[in-house]
Amino acid sequence: MKQKIYLYTPRLKIARLFAASLVLGRAEEIELLVLPYPREIKMELEKFTRSIISWKYLQKRIIELMGSYGYSWLDIEEPLFLGLKLIRERNPKLDLYLYRSIGDEDEKYRITSDLLALALKYRVTGKIEVEEWRRVLSGYRRKRVEVGDKRAIIIIEDKLQAPSGSILIEALPGYIESPLDKLFSSPVSEQIIKEYIEYVTEYLAKYSSIDYAYFKWLKDKGFQGLIVQLSDYFLNLLSAIGED
């Protein structure tokens, strides 16, 4: 059985950047790179990594497929997309496998929009109907990833996608789940919903960068661990490059 590495990569730009760096370091050792991207962009992605089309053209094509939410999707994915060109240069024979679809992305966007509407409803009424939240979240489906017997790195956004006993590496070591992550990974409760609403209204809505909002939340909540110790560094770095 050839080695497979599951690379847990939260949907943060800095996590995507670290993931690209980790894959680059192992590019010559693997046959297959598995990505959480819609398969409908595979042809354009292959051309981009081989410098046949430009980054601007790839962006345009993705916006055509996804619509308005494609802009925010691309903003997070940009570091990994650009890193793929370097990865391809290091291993021109590397195969790419994309395990999501535009339909999956559309559904995720719909769920996210419905959750934001429920958060707004709570701000107006002060009431949480837990069953209403459960109904919305029931539309979420965790994608299974099967790639056959190849030396592969599989980028996942949910730790539960990695089979029991498999090799699991964190792109962002010590990552602490945000309230948004917990809403999708934990049994729904009023407490988890309230934490999500606070995260959306006090952090995501106040900062233009999802990364900055996450690290600010992490620091404010007083968590312990390596990632918390580095939060000031990340916040300063994000501010310096205008990502705050």
| Local confidence pLDDT in tens for the 244 residues of the chain | 578 999 999 999 999 999 999 999 999 999 999 999 999 999 999 999 999 999 999 999 999 999 999 999 999 999 999 999 999 999 999 999 999 999 999 999 999 999 999 999 998 899 999 999 999 998 777 777 878 888 999 999 988 888 888 899 999 999 999 999 999 888 999 999 999 999 999 999 999 889 999 999 998 998 888 888 888 777 787 776 566 6
Sequence-ordered strand ranges (E) for the chain = 4-8, 32-38, 95-100, 152-156, 167-170
- The DSSP 8-state label assigned to residue 144 in this structure reads P
Write the CB contacts of 65 (distance below 8 Å, at least 6 apart in sequence).
38, 40, 41, 102
Q: Domain-by-domain residue ranges, the chain?
A: 4-111+142-173
Contacts of residue 235, Cβ cutoff 8 Å, sequence gap at least 6: 212, 215, 216, 219, 244
156 contacts 142 by C-beta, under 8 angstroms: no
